[in-house]
A and B are shown apart, each in its own frame.
Chain A
Amino acid sequence: ENTKIRVKPDHSGVVTDGVKHSMNPFCEIAVEEAVKLKEKKLIKEVVAVSCGPTQVTETIRTALAMGCDRGIHVEVSGKDYEAMGPLQISKIFAALAKKEEASLIILGKQAIDDDCNQTGQMTAALLDWPQGTFASEVTIDGEKVKVVREIDGGLETIKISMPAVLTADLRLNTPRYATLPNIMKAKKKKIANMKPADLGVDMVSRVEVLRVDEPPTRLAGVKVETVDDLVAKLRANGTI
């Protein structure tokens, strides 16, 4: 995850060939929370879902090794994968939630590659389900879920009814390691394979990426001695 990112020579995106893809850290926290709920016997089954090319099955296996029961790989590759964003993923999750009759969808609050912070919210909207986002504490109470949310002002506690969508924030838990014996056992767990079309989802993007550039190199700062100097400099470069 610490690889230096390079913009492709044609500025259409970043180079992803040969880069190790691993589970989004907030999603690791989400998986950990789901597995904890199952260990407390509050939920019956945890299904790990990922959308993408063949490589994502490795990530699903890690989730299975952490304790999920089975996996679903929604295969998206090539141009569709490059254009895939929160809207298409939310549609896929919504369709799967209905198909599987899920009572809870738990995801990371945002992905660290695009920092969108949209998928959880969009999924809830498409399903018309309540959402508990930025969760730092989750308690199931019968048919309701109490969620403590991290917000700018502090912590907000809400109670929502299931089925619901939750998104995990940093302090929700510390994910366990996927140990080797569990990785080996995970090989026996099932991962179902399907395409977005099987779920009736169209992958057409409403967003077109025009160009990707590296951020400009930071220029050296200039120190000034007095306020007058500062005003003069700001006038000189047209800022005021």
Chain B
Amino acid sequence: PLPPLKDLHCYIRSYKSHRLLRRRIVTLTPRITSHYTIFPRDKDPRWEGVEMERFADEADVVIVGGGPAGLSAAIRLKQLAKEQEKELRVCLVEKASQIGAHTLSGACLEPSALNELFPDWKERGAPLNTPVTEDLFSILTEKHRIPVPMLPGLPMNNHGNYIVRLGHFVHWLGEQAEELGVEIYPGYAAAEVLFHEDGSVKGIATNDVGIAKDGSPKDVFERGMELHAKVTLFGEGCHGHLAKQLYRQFNLRENCEPQTYAIGLKELWVIDEKKWRPGRVEHSVGWPLNRNTYGGSFLYHLNEGEPLVALGFVVGLDYTNPYLSPFREFQRWKHHPFVAKTLEGGTRIAYGARALNEGGYQCLPKVTFPGGMLIGCSPGFMNVPKIKGTHTAMKSGMLAAEAIFPKVTAEDPASETAGLHIPEYEDNLKKSWIWKELYAVRNIRPSFHNYFGLYGGMVYTGVFYWILRGKEPWTLKHAGLDSAQLKPAKECTPIEYPKPDGKLSFDLLSSVALSGTNHEGDQPPHLTLKDDSIPVANNLAIYDGPEQRFCPAGVYEYVPLETGEGMRLQINAQNCVHCKTCDIKDPSQNINWVVPEGSGGPAYNGL
């Protein structure tokens, strides 16, 4: 029997089969999206009479995102306030249930920014427990490994750096910030940007709670609150959802290339003590990816009391084959003899995934606008060949704080707009070591777009970076939007992935369980679709539903319709690990990731 009519949307799609003949095809699509960003509540009869007024509070500075950038900015502001004996109210909101729970990174931390922020970080107990002792780089083939010498001067060289569990480091930064008087509110997501009448940013509003899955108000419905500030910092990390809106609002991307990304998947393993080499850093490129798909692996041996290794796999999201599954590439990479020998006999204890920036210098947008600024991986300061972005994210937060402080504490900020516009932040960035670093490596990632792919890129790096340090006068371009790179499924070959063996490689659902992710079930799916009919009509029809493969959490599934004929997209929003890959890679750009009720998402512990 057909589902009840109230659950269906009828979509009429016209199909030009021949220029002289038009056919109309009626497709019945079950309703998927119910979020108010797609179906506004002021036109929704179920919301009539519901109190929508929000409580508002004022701070000097509001920071969205409790990651390295946001926390460094908050800390720097409070340090300056203490030095100059001024009062400053700094509020930070973070969607995770605790600071660090949504943090995921390799990570080899370069302590440059930390040394500036807290020269006494060791005495303060910062969890940098594993100095890098060994640095290995390999090109893998299916059965063998070609070692590549890690010459000093190559961007990946890790001398002087520390292997860290970034989630723990971020948690420590949060403690330092609270000690300095920053008001930190984990479990509250910034859901909306607020604007003054003159168009400048006024602050943010946190998420509403108590909306049912079908978009109607529950008994426990409560509006979020408004936090107003003289200037608002947006540090949402890679591909933030509010940043996406701000790019359009203030035209921040008119003079830069569209950002390009990769997805990083990571696991933590407790291994056999005999195989443990604390301080060892291993990176590889090559197998199982072909030479035209950018990506590689990392495996770091931590030194924190037990034989723990952090390992993972990165795949550039400019890949062209819709049958590629980054998750399954990761799982099969672990079977390579060089990797398997470390993991054999070990136990996997954690899993997670996150998108990361790859665009570098060419993709930096304008970072200041009236009332706000962008910091950290949100605009994207990651040094791609170094595979490091934490030190630049922290530094960008610190530079933002230093530019803001005199303005927010001034008697008369002399601003044209109600929200302060502080272009000095952008000037400071351009004069800092962040800019020099990103400029020097700007051509490495784009150099992979040549016939020889990976090998061409490595030759370019060896010649131009190692010898010339990026001083070549040209700037190479990236290939364009990642979402536009997929070829139609019929032009590509499906990839035969091996079945997981349950010892080294695992299936998707047991992996997602290890991420600890969960969301309040009765809320509108936060993976919103601008048009519910496009997944089947476009993504499935042309690209064989690539979201089933690039989502590292099994959120997207094409299942048969109950009526028997055809398929529908099922969105398992509760599985989402907030990686943002779908928003980036969807070939139809129909998916808009918005923030779910605060506290939802993964429960990473030191990832």
Q: Which residues of A contact B (CB under 8 A)?
A: 1-4, 6, 9, 17-20, 22, 174-177, 179-181, 183-184
- Chain B residue with Cβ nearest A4: B514
> CB distance B98 to A20 under 8 Å?
yes
Please count the residue pairs between chain A and chain B whose beta carbons lie under 8 angstroms apart in the complex. 56
Interface string of B47-58 (1 = CB under 8 A from A): 000000001010
Q: Known interface pairs A9-B306, A179-B222, A181-B57. Does A18 touch B171 (Cβ–Cβ under 8 Å)?
A: yes
From B101, B220, B350, B603, contact of A174 by CB (8 A): B220
A-B contact pairs, 26 of them (CB 8 A): A1-B518, A6-B349, A9-B270, A9-B306, A17-B605, A18-B100, A18-B168, A18-B605, A19-B603, A19-B605, A20-B98, A20-B101, A174-B219, A174-B220, A177-B210, A177-B220, A177-B222, A179-B209, A179-B222, A179-B224, A180-B188, A180-B225, A181-B55, A181-B225, A184-B57, A184-B183
Across-interface contacts of B206 in A (CB, < 8 A): 180
A177 close to B209 (CB less than 8 A): yes
- Bound CA–CA A109/B270 (angstroms): 37
B510 to chain A, nearest CB (A): 10
Say whether, besides A18-B606, A179-B209, A184-B57, A4 and B222 are in contact (CB < 8 Å). Answer: no
In the complex, B516 has a CB within 8 A of chain A: yes
A1–B187 Cα gap in the complex (Å)? 13
Whether B590 is near chain A, meaning CB under 8 Å from some CB there, is no
Given contacts A177-B210, A177-B222, 12 further A-B contacts (CB under 8 A): A2-B517, A4-B513, A9-B270, A18-B100, A18-B171, A19-B605, A20-B101, A22-B97, A174-B219, A175-B220, A180-B224, A184-B183
CB neighbours of A17 from chain B (8 A): 605
Q: How far is the CB of B511 from chain A (nearest CB, A)?
A: 11
In whole angstroms, how far apart are the Cα atoms of A48 and B320 in the complex?
A: 57
Q: Is the CB of B455 closer than 8 A to any CB of chain A?
A: no
| Inter-subunit contact B603/A180 (CB<8 Å) | no
Least CB separation from B227: chain A residue: A180
Name A187's closest neighbour in chain B (CB-CB): B183
Residues of A within 8 A of B209 (CB): 177, 179
Closest to B188 in A: A180
Tell me whether A3 and B222 are in contact (CB under 8 A).
no
Q: Is the CB of A2 within 8 A of B222?
A: no
Q: In the complex, A193→B392 CA distance in Å?
A: 42
Chain B, residues 91-126, CB within 8 Å of chain A (1/0): the string is 001000110110000000000000000000000000
Are B349 and A180 in touch, CB under 8 angstroms?
no
List chain B residues, Cβ under 8 A from A1. 518, 603
Q: How far is the CB of A11 from chain B (nearest CB, A)?
A: 14
For A2, what are the chain B residues with a Cβ–Cβ distance below 8 Å?
A: 516-518, 603
Whether, in the assembled complex, B195 has its beta carbon less than 8 Å from a beta carbon of chain A, the answer is no
Cβ–Cβ < 8 Å partners of B439 in chain A: none
> Which residue from chain B places its CB closest to the CB of A178 in the assembled complex?
B187
A183/B516 in contact, CB under 8 A: no
Q: How far apart are the CA atoms of A2 and B210 in the complex, in Å?
A: 20
A179 to B518, CA, bound (A): 20
Report the minimum CB–CB distance from A62 to chain B (whole Å): 9
Q: With CB as the reference atom, state the residue of chain B lying closest to A32.
A: B220
Say yes or no: is B185 at the interface (Cβ < 8 Å to chain A): yes
Q: Which residue of B lies closest to A62 (CB)?
A: B187
User: Smallest CB-CB separation from A55: which chain B residue?
Assistant: B98
Residue of B nearest to A15 (CB): B605
How many Å lie between the Cα of A176 and that of B516 in the bound state?
24
Residues of B with C-beta under 8 A to A19:
603, 605
